[in-house]
Chains A and B, each alone.
Chain A
């Protein structure tokens, strides 16, 4: 994470941290299909009680840190949020939607989403982001429920449920059989989700899903994202952050904009 910081990222989002140490799924935890990446890492993390040192180190860099957390029940996520907020992150991001772990169902359901977000908001003072899944049949209702519960921003989207079968061995490749699909092929789905959400939400949207170039970042901003997250594209190296930022700045300059805020949602959506 030191290196991500050095490479020009303005904010660092941690991997999701839960209540206890968790090994994750057996390997393979990663494979590819049709130009994208399938992962079933399975929320590997050292547990919130072991994460204080790492947060301390990260914060010493002076870069804003968003602590991503999850819990299998409302009590669990409240406990992790409580402990996490004591580490003074810039914000908490609630992973309500990992498609290959037990928590996958929360953000399929507006009521559950409301309850989780509400419970955390009542516990902590820092900003709370809700990360939601494109696998839900109605992401708009889910995002609205999170907003109603007091979420300070929506992070869209998590990975898509997917699978890869090895035709020689005739079995699924991932240890967990099913995984989350990420990378460039999911980008148009992420853009559609952000666009739809921008039309109905009052709170900011953080766009994520397949962004791998500065053109993607611009497209995501035009769809309505106030900020962009990059994950899978780091496979090509950490220069991605500098490349995106300089490309975006050049685009703004060439098109007569003085600030990124001027292009957010400019593609036709109308935030309320």
Chain B
């Protein structure tokens, strides 16, 4: 039993560069020493010294450099957002499964900071000459995390934007924009990450249209490696950290808490 490997080989690294994405969102870059293989959708456990350890999607890699995109939400994320180059963090991973690149004509929907794991996914899909429509959604124009997508010009790529308040792109929720897109185009698969109610809405749309879907689930997580049970999903105990975070329609239909409730830090059920 190689405990170190099973735990994702805990390593300390220095932040190399910080890029501001929006007023509340940054991407932190750092170099890793070990040869790691990363697939789109996977995550790291990130130790924020003296604060906490939290799961973070990998939003960029070009080995040896990795990137995570952070939005200020709680103590750990606000500490991360304020980091400067040279600061230490600890990382373990990568953990979890990955998106299946089995689409021919994909709709990728990112809500808020949920865009983070979709960035490498979009790049991988484009590199395979798959038709990609990327819908980036946020509450307002200022909260859109767009990376360099507006500069991307490949012929197989279309960028769509939706904001709740209509300050950019489609006015309304990502689900409304998706319904509209489906009137004009056909997709064989939806990939999504963002607020669970948005993903649940997209799942219902996908089911109605007979489109395959993969969602990236988030649950309170402590170990990241299948031991503590904190992220177990009802009723079968599928673990978001091991069997997820990516779940397709076949798994989603048996996850009774999807879009309904989650468990907080104490394990108490909370409705969405």
Contacts and interface: CB of A to CB of B under 8 A. Distances in A.
B43 interface: no
Interface in B1-26: 1, 3-4, 6-7, 10, 12
Given A3-B237, A233-B1, A235-B225, A28 B267 contact: no
Contact of A28 (B47, B227, B229): B47
B7 A32 contact: yes
Contact of B266 (A35, A44, A169, A235): A44
Interface stretch (B50-58, B98-106, B247-255): B50-58
Interface stretch (A15-23, A74-82, A109-117, A257-265): A15-23
A30 B226 CA distance: 12
A232 B53 contact: no
Given A31-B7, A41-B228, A235-B225, A173 B267 contact: no
11 contacts: A4-B237, A23-B265, A24-B222, A28-B10, A29-B228, A30-B223, A30-B225, A35-B1, A46-B267, A57-B235, A169-B90
A30 B229 CA distance: 13
B53 A28 contact: yes
B49 A171 contact: yes
Nearest to A23: B265
Contact of A3 (B51, B228, B236, B267): B236
A44 B267 contact: yes
B71 interface: no
A173 B3 contact: no
B53 A175 contact: yes
Interface string B103-125: 00000000000000000000000
Contacts of A171: 49-50
Contacts of B4: 32, 35
A44 B53 contact: no
B121 to A, nearest CB: 27
A15 B128 CA distance: 46
A35 B3 contact: yes
B88 interface: yes
A46 B266 contact: yes
B268 interface: yes
B163 interface: no
Given A29-B53, A166-B90, A168-B88, A44 B1 contact: no
Given A46-B267, A169-B12, A2 B236 contact: yes
Interface in B258-272: 263, 265-269
A27 B227 contact: no
A15 B229 contact: yes
Interface in B40-94: 45, 47, 49-54, 76, 88, 90
Nearest to B13: A168
Nearest to A30: B223
B230 interface: yes
Contacts of B3: 32, 35-37, 183-184, 235
A97 interface: no
A50 B268 contact: yes
Of all A-B residue pairs in the complex, the 6 with the closest CB atoms, nearest first, are A27-B53, A21-B266, A28-B53, A168-B12, A46-B267, A46-B268
A117 B53 CA distance: 36
Interface string A43-77: 01111001000000100000000000000000000
Contacts of B88: 168-169
